[in-house]
Amino acid sequence: MKIVIDTMGCDNPEEIVRGALQSAKTFPDLRITVVGDEKIINNVISDEKGTGLLDTVFTDEVITNDESPTMAIKSKKNSSMVVSFRLLKEDPDMIGMVTAGSTGAALTGATLLLGRLPGVYRPTLLAQLPNFGGGVTCITDSGANMDCRPEWLYQFAVMGNAYMKAITGKKNPTVSLLSVGTEEHKGNELGKATYPLLKEGNFNFIGNMEARDALNGDYDVIVCDGFDGNVLIKSSEGAAKLIMKLLKNNIMSSFKAKLGYFLFMKKPLMNMKEQMNYNNYAGAAILGVNKCVIKSHGSSTAMSIFCSVEQLIKVHKEKVIDAIKAEFAEK
Amino acid sequence: MKIVIDTMGCDNPEEIVRGALQSAKTFPDLRITVVGDEKIINNVISDEKGTGLLDTVFTDEVITNDESPTMAIKSKKNSSMVVSFRLLKEDPDMIGMVTAGSTGAALTGATLLLGRLPGVYRPTLLAQLPNFGGGVTCITDSGANMDCRPEWLYQFAVMGNAYMKAITGKKNPTVSLLSVGTEEHKGNELGKATYPLLKEGNFNFIGNMEARDALNGDYDVIVCDGFDGNVLIKSSEGAAKLIMKLLKNNIMSSFKAKLGYFLFMKKPLMNMKEQMNYNNYAGAAILGVNKCVIKSHGSSTAMSIFCSVEQLIKVHKEKVIDAIKAEFAEK
């Protein structure tokens, strides 16, 4: 079992290499190839006493967030991302890839270089968020496909269901459709046309849901297009950040509260921050292509890379890609 | 100057009457008519020593949230909402209306009974949220129009701009378009077609914005359709509620933290809760029709009704409806 990790195009390439090393130490059956800058990779390996733990492929060409994804993937043949995709595609033992580089390029690369699974209309970017039930909730498209058709959303539901079965171990994850109310007739044209398709699906569809309940723990898979998924995720993230700031301001505004914080409450509040820290969770999964790619965020730490690797192993062990293939081959 | 308040179809009709009384006491130039159940209204007036402060119209017919808005508005001629709309329409001194009843019925009633302003494609439901800059941010459609055209969004921007000028006193509020990135080319088809229209608009358009920044205080008017506005508002609300719950759980999980909370931190945390309490803010404004209707939420308190009345006065004094009329008459 092998995986490839693209270490470049992100804020802290060193952290990516560190995450790769931690993964290699934790999963002895796994062989990891890191792709990226020779000096950075070798420095981290030597600092962390990791000689021999990783396979390495060196290149100094990088795809940045500012360039056109399609142009970049087509023209930068030696970029760390394109090289990673090539290794993934060509080596039958390679089960997946992690990258913290450009999301657009990762999506384009996955589609152009790995290829769509037969019958899949559009690959999607499934994000997982920690929910307040102590588990994770997956948003079927967090920004890949802006304008969707009902059949695409149906396929996202199928992929989300297979993925969440593997990740959470739940036999029958709940699948619901993002709307403005729970009643069947609520929503926009896209939602109304998608609802009957989901109702017929071979999964546990529980109807429409509202954004305010997204993270309460009742919803395993939330079906939506990439625009709405993005709005849902970023609104939640923005509100969470601002409340933590408001909390800090309120604590720091009075001596008494400051004292209380340092004497009594630092630990529970730090706990809370940790529960919400997305570095403790894997990145978003690009699904619908041959093999799985995890797109970790640009400021990933070693911990988030480790979680993403762990996720790839689950996806492989639970045969998520085969399950998706089978679903669409049947139809 | 007169306004009408529909006191029924909500969780606490008593609170609505109480809010009307507080408004009448605060604004002596304002004459308020409350419409609703005779017993409830008279009881509150007698409890609060408000005899003579309010005009009253009694009816016991109510439109509920469960019925079809169009059917209800057309068939329930004696419902508190339809009676309120009739008073608003027929009395030239009536400047506006507040209701905490069914949103769908309020929108339908406003369109059918008050009528659209000349040139307006679709009335909209402008919500205001408290932001972390200490002000309010308005979302141009919080759920009225699920599937929009670019020209409709352009009109929402015009209405939002006029409204926020009046409400905030800002001469040049910022207007931005909800998207998945700040660059002009980011977004879905609707957004890309709307962008050039907004660029030509007679207001301070500052480009695309992302949902995570919605409440940071930089954005006065956020332009979006009713589906996305609803997702944005409800996600933020949901995340805020869940974090407060997580905070409470973390505090209550240890004796030390509990002690610290009661000794030192109750006040700052209560302050924070108050800053986020939407009862301290007015409801959403239905704009694009002849006269202004404020739709307060179903569980409104006297305070939220008071804020909504205050808003109606501002809308009237700053001639918001005339400004919208003039804008569309010009084109």
* pLDDT range class, residue A163, cuts 50, 70, 90: very high
The residue among B194 and A279 whose pLDDT is bigger is B194
The predicted model gives A240-260 an average pLDDT of 80
> What is the C-alpha to C-alpha distance for residues A44 and B229, in angstroms, rounded to an integer?
46
Span of A20-24, A130-134, A316-320, B324-328 with lowest mean pLDDT: A130-134
What count of other Cβ atoms lies within 10 Å of the Cβ of residue B273?
A: 11
- Of the residues A263, A281, A299, which one is the last residue of a structural domain? A281
Which ipTM did the prediction report? Answer: 0.91
The predicted model gives B142-160 an average pLDDT of 97
Asked if B274 and B199 sit in the same domain, the reply is yes
* pLDDT range class, residue A330, cuts 50, 70, 90: low
pLDDT of residue B69: 94
Among A212, A228, A276, beta carbon nearest to B228: A228
pLDDT of residue B270: 78
Q: Does position B263 have pLDDT exceeding 90, yes or no? A: no
Give the CATH number of the domain where residue B78 resides: 3.40.718.10
pLDDT tens, position by position, A31-73: 999 999 999 999 999 999 999 999 999 999 999 998 999 999 9
> Could you tell me if residue B60 is inside a domain?
yes
Asked if A216 and A324 sit in the same domain, the reply is no
> Could you tell me if residue B128 is inside a domain?
no
Percent of all residues in chain B with a pLDDT value above 70, rounded to a whole number: 99
> Could you tell me if residue A129 is inside a domain?
no
Asked if B35 and B94 sit in the same domain, the reply is yes
Q: Does position A294 have pLDDT exceeding 80, yes or no? A: yes
The predicted model gives A6-11 an average pLDDT of 97
The predicted model gives B297-322 an average pLDDT of 95
Q: Are B238 and A211 in contact (CB < 8 Å)? A: yes
Q: Are A227 and B226 in contact (CB < 8 Å)? A: no
Percent of all residues in chain B with a pLDDT value above 90, rounded to a whole number: 82
The predicted model gives B90-101 an average pLDDT of 97
The residue among B259 and B91 whose pLDDT is bigger is B91
Whole-number average pLDDT of chain A: 93
- Of the residues B265, B281, B297, which one is the last residue of a structural domain? B281
Asked if B17 and B97 sit in the same domain, the reply is yes
Asked if B208 and B294 sit in the same domain, the reply is no
pLDDT tens, position by position, A106-145: 999 999 999 999 999 999 999 999 888 889 999 999 999 9
Q: Does position B279 have pLDDT exceeding 80, yes or no? A: no
Asked if A261 and A301 sit in the same domain, the reply is no
Asked if B292 and B314 sit in the same domain, the reply is yes
Q: Are B239 and A234 in contact (CB < 8 Å)? A: no
B103, B122, B227, best to mutate vs chain A, most A CBs in 10 Å: B227
Asked if A220 and A313 sit in the same domain, the reply is no
> Could you tell me if residue A178 is inside a domain?
yes
Q: Does position B66 have pLDDT exceeding 80, yes or no? A: yes
Q: Are A259 and B264 in contact (CB < 8 Å)? A: yes
B145: nearest CA in chain A? A188
pLDDT of residue B330: 60
pLDDT of residue A279: 72
Asked if B272 and B143 sit in the same domain, the reply is yes
Q: Among candidates B121, B221, B85, which has minimal Cα distance to B162?
A: B221
Q: Does position B331 have pLDDT exceeding 60, yes or no? A: no
Beta bridge partners of A4: A33, A97
Asked if B261 and B141 sit in the same domain, the reply is yes
Domain range for A46 is: 1-120+288-331
Whole-number average pLDDT of chain B: 93
- Of the residues B240, B262, B281, which one is the last residue of a structural domain? B281
Asked if A77 and A160 sit in the same domain, the reply is no
Q: Are B227 and A228 in contact (CB < 8 Å)? A: yes
* pLDDT range class, residue B165, cuts 50, 70, 90: very high
B235, B248, B271, best to mutate vs chain A, most A CBs in 10 Å: B235
> Could you tell me if residue B141 is inside a domain?
yes
Q: Are A254 and B267 in contact (CB < 8 Å)? A: yes
* pLDDT range class, residue A300, cuts 50, 70, 90: very high
Q: Are B239 and A132 in contact (CB < 8 Å)? A: no
> Could you tell me if residue B126 is inside a domain?
no
> Could you tell me if residue A312 is inside a domain?
yes
> Is the pTM above the cut of 0.90?
yes
The predicted model gives B37-50 an average pLDDT of 97
Look at chain A and report how many structural domains it folds into: 2
pLDDT of residue B251: 78
Asked if B263 and B306 sit in the same domain, the reply is no
Percent of all residues in chain A with a pLDDT value above 70, rounded to a whole number: 99
SS3 per-residue string spanning chain B: CEEEEECCCCCCHHHHHHHHHHHHHHCCCCEEEEEECHHHHHHHHHHCCCCCCEEEEECCECCCCCCCHHHHHHHCCCEHHHHHHHHHHHCCCEEEEEECCCHHHHHHHHHHHHCECCCCCCCEEEEEEECCCCCEEEECCCCCCCCCCHHHHHHHHHHHHHHHHHHHCCCCCEEEEEECCCCCCCCCHHHHHHHHHHHCCCCEEEEEEEHHHCCCCCCCEEECCHHHHHHHHHHHHHHHHHHHHHHHHHHHCCHHHHHHHHHHHHHHHHHHHHHHCHHHCCCEEEECECCEEEECCCCCCHHHHHHHHHHHHHHHHCCHHHHHHHHHHHC
pLDDT tens, position by position, B176-208: 999 999 999 899 999 999 999 999 999 999 999
* pLDDT range class, residue A331, cuts 50, 70, 90: low
> Could you tell me if residue A269 is inside a domain?
yes
What is the interface size between A and B, counted as CB pairs within 8 Å? Answer: 181
A186: nearest CA in chain B? B146
